[in-house]
Structure 1
Amino acid sequence: MMKVSSPYFDPEFDSLTERIFGPACRVSIDNESLRDCTIVYVDSVNKQGLLLEVVQVLTDMNLNITKSYISSDAGWFMNDELRILYDVVVFHVKDAHGNKVTDQRVINYIQQAIGKSTREAKKRKSLTSKLFEPELHSEPKAIEMTGPDRPGLFSEISAALAELHCNVVEAHAWSHNARLACVAYISDQSTDAPLDDRRLAAIEDHLTTVLRATTSQNPIGEFSKQQEVKTAGLPEGEGTMMTNVERRLHQLMLSVRDFDRPNVRPVVKLGLNGGEEGGRRPSVVIESCKEKGYSIVTVQCKDRPRLMFDTVCTLTDMQYVVFHASIDSHRGYAFQEYFIRHIDGCALNTNGEKERVIKCLEAAIERRVCEGVRLELCAKNRAGLLSDITRVLRENGLVVVRADIATHGAKAVNAFYVRDISGNDVDMECINRSMKRLMGPIDLAVKREKSFVPSSTDRPRFSIGDMLKSQLERFSHNFVTIK
């Protein structure tokens, strides 16, 4: 019988590119050139999703990106079939307080996290992630929930989990355009041990029943069959880093088409100061750059933390590659410009494609924006705590539009964005009294953000649209060269 041999692959082949062209990714950080921000300079082999990976690292550090320039026009040709593209990415970043990044631990982590190769990822992650990742638990099971939203639904989900004797280790929920997406990490209430498959199946069935408890008068009946509860599909080995959960929430919202607005009578939104919402919807425009074969996506909206992550995440998950981009923010207003093609190399040619990208980007920007009040509650962790808190909010006529729940040892830290179901101001004194009467001592902080609407003269005009058509390299003088 003839012996069949498998093809031989040289084990050194994977590192061939790095040995020919140098390190696959070079990261430099400059704290000297600019007075008010830190510059992060990345020169890397281009690959699908690379920009999102870099933005995700910076977002994990709670850094705000105030300006950015991305280009992947350069390249080498080894032969007719192999082309290796390089990305040049520059970020101007500040910490959460608006200052330069001076913590050497953060600087070291950024350099390692962005510059590490695929082969070194797991090794370095074990050394660096302990400094910044949330406390890991005994691998609680994660479940995902999607479906039409209604007042009090998050409270009903919390109560159902308490009835099923589940401990909520961590949970994140978003509500947008009458849809809900939630990712929750749960364990057994008595033993804090992971749940077996049989118990998980029973929990999924019960939560599905809760999500489907929608009356026939519900105005969103056209998508009322989109309820789903299942074991979460978060990337293996990624832990519970916040941006991974947020990316999954974006994907879940996209799956239930939250970019389609429900056919309901419009309700006047109330701003944080009690007046009609002052901020306009984000502006997204798509044009064609026929000379280079790109589609140009321009985004203008109020600036906020994690904005670039939300837009880049959406483009990546929709299978678009960003070849060039410019990002700028000024006085609370953001301007983003992306030169993209679909992963198959084609630009957006039809009006249907363009309309879908526009609607999805608008939804991605709006999901994180919550008109209402942010409540931060810290209390001793116990069984049913989340159920009790959400019940108090519900009984006081408050709707949870976003939630982030985490446990740190014996403490539970909960953050809720809430608004009054009738559009009235939130009576925090009443909420505080109700919380303490039910739960005893509890730390409650209230945050009201001021709404800022920039004038047309405040908008940044940092664009590479016209310049790319002539000579993209001319734009490099806008950024400091890092030696």
Structure 2
Amino acid sequence: MHYWSPSLDVDHEFEKLVNRMHPPRVTVDHITDKKSTLIKVDSANKRGSLLEVVQVLTDMNLLIKRAYISSDGGWFMDVFHVTDHNGKKLSEDNVADRIQQSLGPRGCSFRSLRGSVGVKYASESTTIELTGRDRPGLLSEVFAVLADLKCNVVAAEIWTHNSRMASIVYITDDETGHPIDDPDRLSKIKQLLFYILKGDLDMQGAQTAVSVESTHTQRRLHQLMYADRDYDLSDGTSGTRNGLVTVENCAEKGYTLVNVRCTDRPKLLFDTVCTLTDMQYVVFHATIIAEGAEAFQEFYIRHTDGCPISSEAERQRVIHCLEAAIKRRVSEGLRLELCGEDRLGLLSDVTRIFRENGLSVTRAEVTTRGSKAVNTFYVMDSSGSQVKSETIEAVRNAMLVETETMLNVKEEETFRKSKVSGQESGGGFSLGNLFRNRSEKFLYNLGLIRSCSEVA
């Protein structure tokens, strides 16, 4: 799936040397901002630094309310205003140590495994990657095959977008509880799942991969959906319901300016930075504001060859890919949470009940905590209509009888849409007019904030 070359090994060893000589310096400031904790990261600059830092903060379940990024030259400087999930300042005293350990020479480099950013180790299970055309009942068939093959699903995450599906499933052998590494058995698993994904109509586009290597789940899901071209829009239009992206060149400085404006949600910055990195763009400066119902992101980028965007086709591709990244994690449908004793075939039974009651899964997160299975599903009526209350009641009763699991319906937190000047027009906008307080002016003078008016 991924291949190494001698040059990659040399580059990786050189990166480790630079990291040891100039390790990232992380400082945490609880005083300057009354509402959030400031996390400042200084380090030697290398490609992927921004994504590495954002991923660490995201994995710590921190909300990034503001960020100022500068990486021109050989040094990388970030300032993040973060809170916990309750919107409160951080109370832990070891935050700086935890971040520094993740980013330091003993942490995972963004090219340390499989060419992925910030790899998480999953050495206690076998990883299955699936991509293909989404259809009603697909997950039920996948989990039924795994149950028949005596594979216990210990964790999984499934995304759907634009009629495509990508999932990463972590399995163990049901008898031993160990990862499955027998080549013949892995080949059989891969072959049967491929038949499921291919179906009767989708003769192309289905992909399966089974390995004992490690991956960062959500990072890899972005890569899978991007490779599957989920950003292609069948009607040729640019979606604006969940996000608005504008791209324009700032000729004087040789950058391309990318503005993202959409409803705020957790992990939004991680999603957009992942996409820019996968598309081989480098973020030189950025300003992020996500303190209300909407989020504003301003990036100054160049391609890894040092050039800004040079064609209309490339500009449109960046817009479509960023909009897809925004929408992949937007959960359409009703959120259902299930908790019960874990066992072989539980997910097969749960998804079968969904299918029998005419529900389609649009997104899912499966975890195992000790002997308990804690699963979250986002479901819609197979016809695309709102799920009826009597359907939910029928599913809840079936879950209790057949799986002995409790089903809870959770109301998703909705953000009030704020009116932004020029929102309905397709023209560009700049965050420069939003920055007024002293600290921001100070950061601007240091070069940590670059407004559009400066480079236009």
List alignment gaps of at least 5 residues for structure 1. Answer: 1-8, 76-84, 124-132, 216-220, 239-243, 265-276
With over 3 angstroms needed to count, the CA separation of the structure-2 counterparts of 1:362 and 1:179, relative to structure 1, is same
From 114, 126, 131, the counterpart of 1:141: 126
Question: In the alignment, is the contact (CA less than 8 A) between 1:326 and 1:463 conserved in 2?
Answer: no
TM-score normalized with structure 2 length: 0.83
CA distance in 2, matches of 1:146, 1:359: 20
Supply the AA of the counterpart residue of 1:199: R
CA distance in 2, matches of 1:473, 1:138: 45
Alignment of 1:320-331 (within 5 A): 320-331=281-292
CA distance in 2, matches of 1:46, 1:311: 20
- Residue 188 of structure 1 corresponds to which residue in structure 2? 173
With over 3 angstroms needed to count, the CA separation of the structure-2 counterparts of 1:404 and 1:458, relative to structure 1, is farther
Aligned residue for 2:432, secondary structure, equals coil
From 191, 195, 205, the counterpart of 1:209: 195
Question: In the alignment, is the contact (CA less than 8 A) between 1:374 and 1:418 conserved in 2?
Answer: yes
From 452, 463, 476, the counterpart of 2:432: 463
The range that moved more, 445-454 or 405-414, is 445-454
Matched, 1:388 2:349: yes
Aligned residue for 2:191, secondary structure, equals helix
Shift in Å, 1:110: 2.0
Question: In the alignment, is the contact (CA less than 8 A) between 1:24 and 1:44 conserved in 2?
Answer: yes
CA distance in 2, matches of 1:230, 1:16: 33
Aligned residue for 2:284, secondary structure, equals strand
Question: In the alignment, is the contact (CA less than 8 A) between 2:128 and 2:208 conserved in 1?
Answer: yes
From 241, 246, 258, the counterpart of 2:218: 246
Aligned residue for 2:290, secondary structure, equals strand
Shift in Å, 1:475: 6.5
CA distance in 1, matches of 2:76, 2:137: 47
With over 3 angstroms needed to count, the CA separation of the structure-2 counterparts of 1:110 and 1:16, relative to structure 1, is closer
Aligned residue for 1:456, secondary structure, equals coil
Shift in Å, 1:194: 2.3
CA distance in 1, matches of 2:19, 2:349: 56
Supply the AA of the counterpart residue of 1:49: G
- Residue 60 of structure 1 corresponds to which residue in structure 2? 59
Aligned residue for 1:192, secondary structure, equals coil
With over 3 angstroms needed to count, the CA separation of the structure-2 counterparts of 1:475 and 1:121, relative to structure 1, is closer
- Residue 26 of structure 1 corresponds to which residue in structure 2? 25
Provide, for residues 210-252 of structure 1, a one-character-per-residue CA deviation record: whole Å limited to 9, x for no partner.
Answer: 111134xxxxx6xx50101112586x5x6xxxxx110100000
- Number of positions where the alignment pairs a residue of Structure 1 with one of Structure 2: 414
TM-score normalized with structure 1 length: 0.79
- Residue 265 of structure 2 corresponds to which residue in structure 1? 304
With over 3 angstroms needed to count, the CA separation of the structure-2 counterparts of 1:102 and 1:372, relative to structure 1, is same
- Residue 7 of structure 2 corresponds to which residue in structure 1? none
CA distance in 2, matches of 1:443, 1:227: 32
Supply the AA of the counterpart residue of 1:34: D
Matched, 1:431 2:420: no
CA distance in 2, matches of 1:413, 1:319: 36
From 145, 148, 151, the counterpart of 2:136: 151
Matched, 1:402 2:387: no
Alignment of 1:311-350 (within 5 A): 311-350=272-311
Shift in Å, 1:191: 2.1
Supply the AA of the counterpart residue of 1:174: W
Question: In the alignment, is the contact (CA less than 8 A) between 1:464 and 1:475 conserved in 2?
Answer: no
Supply the AA of the counterpart residue of 1:66: K
Supply the AA of the counterpart residue of 2:50: L
- Residue 198 of structure 1 corresponds to which residue in structure 2? 184
CA distance in 2, matches of 1:371, 1:285: 24
CA distance in 2, matches of 1:105, 1:283: 37
Supply the AA of the counterpart residue of 2:205: Q
CA distance in 1, matches of 2:123, 2:212: 18
- Residue 151 of structure 2 corresponds to which residue in structure 1? 166
With over 3 angstroms needed to count, the CA separation of the structure-2 counterparts of 1:144 and 1:478, relative to structure 1, is closer
Q: CA RMSD of the aligned region, Å?
A: 3.2
Shift in Å, 1:444: 3.0
Question: In the alignment, is the contact (CA less than 8 A) between 1:178 and 1:262 conserved in 2?
Answer: no
Question: In the alignment, is the contact (CA less than 8 A) between 1:333 and 1:458 conserved in 2?
Answer: no
The structure with the larger Rg is 1
- Residue 295 of structure 1 corresponds to which residue in structure 2? 256
With over 3 angstroms needed to count, the CA separation of the structure-2 counterparts of 1:451 and 1:23, relative to structure 1, is closer
Aligned residue for 1:362, secondary structure, equals helix
